[in-house]
Chains A and B, each alone.
Chain A
Amino acid sequence: MTQTRQAQGTAAIDAMFARAKSENRAAFLPYFCIGYPDYDESLRAIETVAELGVDGFEIGMPFSDPIADGPTIQAATQIALENGTTVRLCLDAVRTLRDKGLTQPMLMMGYANPLVAYGTDRFVRDARAAGADGLIVPDLPPEEASMFAQSCAREGMALVFFLAPTSNDERIELAAAKATGFIYVVSLTGITGAREELPAYLTDYIARLRAKTDMPLVLGFGISTPDHARQLRGLTDGFIVASALIRAWQRSFNDMRALASEIFAAIQQ
């Protein structure tokens, strides 16, 4: 059942946004950490949610000291580490998923140190070869990104940077100039974790970014419910859901699948 992908790397991510845009909606990128709750289950979750037709995936690689993450992702990635999840295993997971026919873009998401330990050039090459399309490193501001920028450019791998409510115009311009694929827009001043409500300033905040860049904007941190997803219509080009899916999954696999399905349905209405 192996399907060939029409585009790869940054081009696959561009195509993902083009398609979502043609359907007049934002792209939905759920996050899953390889190795949580164990290796096989994490792959089953990604395959199951891929079958819903979601647009892409953030593939989490665990780190012992995740300073941008709240308790939910901390706990999940800790379990993944206890299960022996390595960078290499995360790349194996991507290759396995591609072999099984998963066509959506996958972006590798992980803190800098394990990637530095693996070798940054080698990581980018191996990740691209395994079938990953982009890279997201939460403790890597654009100023420090030269260690990845060249190899990502060479391999056609998207290198995503973050913007936050605290980012000033100068930093917006910097991220816009350096990012490929999209800009990860942190919804709030804080760490990851499910939230009750989206911040009230979101419209103004996104408008401030739009005034400075044409890059696709993908919102993350705190997006938790179908209603949140609905509120993003016309606002961002995509959004990421992580902690809320893990929390649903703590109840059951089916609850996690149901939440992903409801969120995806909400943006298609």
Chain B
Amino acid sequence: MTDTYIQTNISDLPDERGYFGEFGGRFVPETIVPALDELQAAYAEAIADPAFHANLSHLQQTYTGRPTPISHARRLSEALGGAQIYLKREDLAHTGAHKINNALGQGLLARRMGKRRIIAETGAGQHGVGAATAMALLGLECHVYMGTVDIRRQQPNVFRMKLLGAEVIPVESGSRTLKDAINEAMRDWVTNVETTFYLLGSALGPHPYPMMVRDFQSVIGVEAREQIQVLTGQLPDVCIACVGGGSNAIGLFHAFRDDAHTELIGVEAGGHGIESKQHAARFADLDISRPGILHGTRSFVMQDDDGQIMETHSVSAGLDYPSVGPEHAHLRQLERAYYTLATDVEALEAFQVLSKLEGIIPALESAHAVAEAIKRAPTMPKDSVLLVNLSGRGDKDLDTVIGILGE
């Protein structure tokens, strides 16, 4: 592997206004536009600086534990009787999820910009933990906004963040989940923009966040593309990742963008099923999801007829969000990537199957990707390769799962 773990300039998108085709942009209050300009300039300068890459790469290797391995899920593949399933083990990254990749990247950028006060939002708590961890390491102040519904269902992560020295600020407004945590973080940023760095946790929000988060997560795909060829002598036939805001998926997909024979599949949260309208399948339910504007970007948004944002449902807090990163909307429109869904029930089933057959307890988010692999593998030849991004570990979800399945 090279020293450079951020892959940049692999495509010419977004354009200079932050658009991926017709999606993206910058729909924010004027107060923070200059801060986004400043961030964009600082980021451009950082990624042109070999010292920044060396710094990040050093932390990735000596702190995060990169490269994360790829495991062959032998028993699962055998049980399904089709494609060989490989797991990219982001669950083995320090803090137990891919979110640390972005948190360290943005943390180094914040320090370089001289910003000492960091704010973040979190859904599942994995980004909050990633942010709190990176800030503990870098010696920066960290405040994490989290909806009270998510605080309840992700208790271990709340405690972790506090232990790491972060302040967790409960958000009581709206649906009290990720969407509302982002609202509050944005209000904080609007108020404290001169002193504060907003560490956004997924490939969404106003330009340059979707691009920057993608770049920091692209290490997943860069590693995986090389590893899978060493292991199997070929590129994967299919890559699968779950899609909340879309950061682990875009991080995996990007390296395979030009590999025309590798199918890219994003898995959204099907919740209680499409008919129930209680889900977060922004690309699947076009009755209630269409292009719109939320949190500074134009993408698919779940909304009612009057353009009010709808409350979503997923058993996994990290996928429970009414919009999706703009680059996914673009990849879908280009038909370069396909999007499907897994319901709560399917994800819970996959959660147990992977635990029993492979000794890996996946995050409920990642279990959605595993569920799609379980559906697809049997339809594929035995010598085909299916790569799943195992974005995180499931320890944080044990309370939720015990609550549903019993002890």
Q: Are A and B interaction partners?
A: yes
Q: A74 contacts which chain B residues (CB < 8 A)?
A: 173
Chain B interface: which size bin? 35 or more
Interface string of B26-56 (1 = CB under 8 A from A): 1111111111000000000000000000000
In contact, B308 and A186 (Cβ under 8 angstroms):
no
Q: Which residue of B lies closest to A168 (CB)?
A: B34
In contact, A113 and B294 (Cβ under 8 angstroms):
yes
In contact, B307 and A166 (Cβ under 8 angstroms):
no
Is residue A63 contacting chain B, with contact meaning CB distance below 8 A? yes
Is residue B376 contacting chain A, with contact meaning CB distance below 8 A? no
Q: B293 contacts which chain A residues (CB < 8 A)?
A: 111-113, 116, 139
Binds B, one of A22-30, A48-56, A157-165, A224-232: A157-165
Q: B31 contacts which chain A residues (CB < 8 A)?
A: 68, 162, 164-166, 186, 189-190
Q: Which of B29, B30, B191 contacts A171 (CB 8 A)?
A: B30
In contact, A65 and B309 (Cβ under 8 angstroms):
yes
What CA separation (Å) do A167 and B34 show in the bound complex?
Answer: 6
Is residue A67 contacting chain B, with contact meaning CB distance below 8 A? yes
Binds B, one of A140-148, A197-205, A233-241, A251-259: A140-148
CB of B20 to closest CB in A, whole Å? 15
Interface string of B259-303 (1 = CB under 8 A from A): 000000000000000000000000000000011111110000101
Is residue B375 contacting chain A, with contact meaning CB distance below 8 A? no
Q: Which residue of A lies closest to B301 (CB)?
A: A113
Is residue A151 contacting chain B, with contact meaning CB distance below 8 A? no
In contact, A191 and B187 (Cβ under 8 angstroms):
yes
Within 8 A of A (CB), among B117-175: 173-174
What CA separation (Å) do A168 and B30 show in the bound complex?
Answer: 11
In contact, A139 and B27 (Cβ under 8 angstroms):
yes
What CA separation (Å) do A171 and B37 show in the bound complex?
Answer: 11
B interface: dominant SS: mixed
Q: Which residue of A lies closest to B290 (CB)?
A: A117
What CA separation (Å) do A175 and B30 show in the bound complex?
Answer: 10
CB of A183 to closest CB in B, whole Å? 10
Q: Which of B26, B183, B193 contacts A141 (CB 8 A)?
A: B26
In contact, A87 and B307 (Cβ under 8 angstroms):
yes
Is residue A138 contacting chain B, with contact meaning CB distance below 8 A? yes
Q: A141 contacts which chain B residues (CB < 8 A)?
A: 26-30, 33
Within 8 A of A (CB), among B166-218: 173-174, 179-180, 183, 186-187, 190-194
Q: B27 contacts which chain A residues (CB < 8 A)?
A: 112, 139-141, 144
In contact, B187 and A67 (Cβ under 8 angstroms):
yes
Q: B32 contacts which chain A residues (CB < 8 A)?
A: 166
Q: A65-B294, A74-B173, A117-B292 are in contact. Are A186 and B306 (CB under 8 A)?
A: no
Is residue A81 contacting chain B, with contact meaning CB distance below 8 A? yes
Q: A143-B17, A162-B29 are in contact. Are A67 and B183 (CB under 8 A)?
A: yes
Q: B193 contacts which chain A residues (CB < 8 A)?
A: 166, 189
CB of B28 to closest CB in A, whole Å? 6
Q: Pull 19 A–B residue pairs with CB atoms less than 8 Å apart, ordered by A.
A: A65-B183, A67-B187, A67-B190, A68-B190, A88-B306, A113-B294, A114-B306, A116-B293, A117-B307, A118-B307, A139-B293, A139-B296, A141-B28, A162-B31, A166-B31, A167-B34, A168-B34, A189-B31, A189-B190
